[in-house]
Amino acid sequence: MKVSKTLLAGAAAVAMLVNASAASAEMIGEGITMYMQMGGNPGDGATLARQTGAAQAAEAFGVDLKEQFSAWAPETMINQFKEAVAAKPTCIEIMGHPGSAAFEDLVEGAVDQGIVVTSGNSPMTDLQNAFGSKGFGYAGVDLYVGGQITANYMIDQGLKSGDEAMVYGVFSQAERGQSEKGLADTLEKAGLKVDRLEITQEANSDASLAVPVLAAYVQAHPDLKAIGTQHGGVTGVLADMLKKAGKQPGDIIVGGIDLAPATIDGLKSGYVSATLDQLLYLQGFLPVLQCVMTAKYKMPGLSINTGAGAVTSQTIDSLVDLIDAGIR
């Protein structure tokens, strides 16, 4: 009994020492400040899971994280990068919507100052090739392939050669437009007649402004069989728009992206057929990890494809709790 008590006392003392040591140990990201572009607006369906992933990574590593929101406006992203550089942080994560050319001189200037720059959501291949050895990585979907995945899920819903389809997207936005191009090209290769319609910057920032445009298009094209987009905000308004246009679930096959609350409702009701799952949580978590690994251990930029597949009306129910928690 005495021996047991002695052992227990010794074990308790060791545990106390271990806990004290862990509490006083420096976190791997201690002293690192990171500015990070989140994309849309705080808490929206195309942004929340990215916020969650970034916040949890920052907490786990001890990084001081500064969030930036742009409502998807490329000019705002450029201005935010300039503001971030002026603050002289350890690291900055940017999004590729403005394109490599718009960012090139700014990124070079930041890297010359010793700031780690990486990217997420929309790639900038030229900059990754130029500054990859300094930590410029990419966490996001292979955009063209993501569009292909969405299109193939739409085709599987019964679309056939000769059917009319419309793809609504930001075709003009550098590499960002590859998502919609992949979607449109894949539908065309399956024999569909595809109309490509550009999203204005106003609707890009506020998807509610796309509703009258889409409603008018549907009314003007009575034989329309499919609508595709790779814009999370627009995906969220499609079900309500189709209801107001007098359409029933399945009358028009809809393929979109992300898991906003309205998109979930659309999947459950059958108005949305499939939505690309680009794992936004990882698009938040991984850039913070990239920042820490480069700042602490001089590791080069990593390119990680977060496009894992699509969510359909058959698979949405098992994900709802995780979506509500801001993770999926």
* Percentage of the residues of the chain whose pLDDT score is greater than 70: 92
Per-residue model confidence as pLDDT tens digits over 58-94 = 999 999 999 999 999 999 999 999 999 999 999 999 9
The pLDDT value recorded for residue 307 is 86
Question: Residue 18 pLDDT more than 50?
Answer: no
pLDDT tier, 7 (very low <50, low <70, confident <90, very high otherwise): very low
Per-residue model confidence as pLDDT tens digits over 157-170 = 999 999 999 999 99
Lowest-confidence region among 4-13, 31-40, 87-96 = 4-13
The pLDDT value recorded for residue 174 is 81
> How many Cα atoms within 13 Å fall on the side-chain side of residue 299?
14
pLDDT tier, 21 (very low <50, low <70, confident <90, very high otherwise): very low
Per-residue model confidence as pLDDT tens digits over 154-205 = 999 999 999 999 999 999 998 999 999 999 999 999 999 999 999 999 999 9
Q: How would you classify residue 270: left for phi > 0, otherwise alpha for psi between -120 and 50, otherwise beta?
A: left
Q: b/e for 66-83, b at 16 or more Cβ within 10 A? A: ebbbbbbbbebbbebbee
Per-residue model confidence as pLDDT tens digits over 27-36 = 999 999 999 9
Q: How far apart are CA 279 and CA 53, in angstroms?
A: 10
The pLDDT value recorded for residue 86 is 98
The pLDDT value recorded for residue 308 is 73
Question: Residue 24 pLDDT more than 60?
Answer: no
Rounded mean pLDDT of 89-117? 97
Average pLDDT of every residue of the chain: 92
Q: How far apart are CA 15 and CA 34, in angstroms?
A: 34
